[in-house]
Amino acid sequence: MVTDRPVGRRPGDPETTRQAILAAARTQFGERGFDRATIRAIAADADVDPALVIYHFRTKRELFVAAHELPVDPGAILAAIAAMPPATYGEQITSMYLGRFAAPGSPTFSLLRAAATNEDAAAMVRGFIHTTLLEHGTPLITGPDPQLRLELVASHLIGIVVAREILGLPELRERPLQDIVAVVAPVIQRYLQGD
């Protein structure tokens, strides 16, 4: 039987507390970026005492890192893409990365926003792009300067997310993602094929 207890208390289950804090942290960091997200607000969101946040994660920085550890298997993603016909690489990469980065609640998007003013976050995004695209992406690409063109692929997709979710350019914001993918995919495909 559940004993009644004051609102805001969550005694007994550290793992539940940890998870609640992590979820709240992702929301706050995602919406406000690293600097403007406060431990106090995260704690309030998680219905937990601010001191508990520090107790579990030691510092704001470590909380940020913990909240953004990505359960991604980079090999698996690109292996799935490589299994399809090369003519579809552009469309697959476009819809996959836009879908992942452009979801405003996702850790990846949160990281991207934070990266603007936070070298830790920038390094994490760089790592993510490196392991998921640059390192294992060469099989997808033909022609000269493959690394440069892979980075341009990443650039374009990131730019679309920034323009849509952060700058709020009107057409990009209003259109469903599929419309955008339809126009962009051939361009990405072109980068992959080396002109």
Chain residues that interact with a second copy, rule: CB under 8 A = 32-33, 35-36, 113-117, 122, 125-126, 129, 134, 145, 147-149, 151-152, 154-160, 162-164, 166-172, 175, 179-180, 183-184, 186-187, 190-191, 195
**Assigned token pair, 97:** 């990365």
Taking the complex as a whole, the smallest distance from the CB of residue 33 to DNA amounts, in Å, to 11
99 binds, among DNA, a second copy, none (CB under 5 to 8 A by kind): none
Q: Which residues contribute to the site for DNA (CB under 7 A)?
A: 8-14, 17, 37-41, 48-52, 54-56, 58-61
What is the nearest approach in angstroms of a second copy to the Cβ of residue 15?
31
Q: State the Cα–Cα distance between residues 73 and 142, nearest whole angstrom.
A: 24
Output helix, strand, coil percentages for the chain, rounded to the nearest 5: 75, 0, 25
Q: Which is nearer to a second copy, 100 or 164 (CB)?
A: 164
How many other C-beta atoms lie within 10 A of the C-beta of residue 56? Answer: 16
Tell me how far apart the alpha carbons of residues 191 and 149 are, in angstroms, rounded to a whole number: 6
- For the bound state, the minimum distance from the C-beta of residue 180 to a second copy, rounded and expressed in Å, comes to 8
**Closer residue to DNA, CB minimum distance, 9 or 173:** 9
Under 8 Å between Cβ of 120 and 74: no
User: Considering CB distances under 5 to 8 angstroms, the limit depending on partner class, which of DNA, a second copy, none binds residue 127?
Assistant: none
Of residues 32, 106, 120, the one with CA closest to residue 72: 106
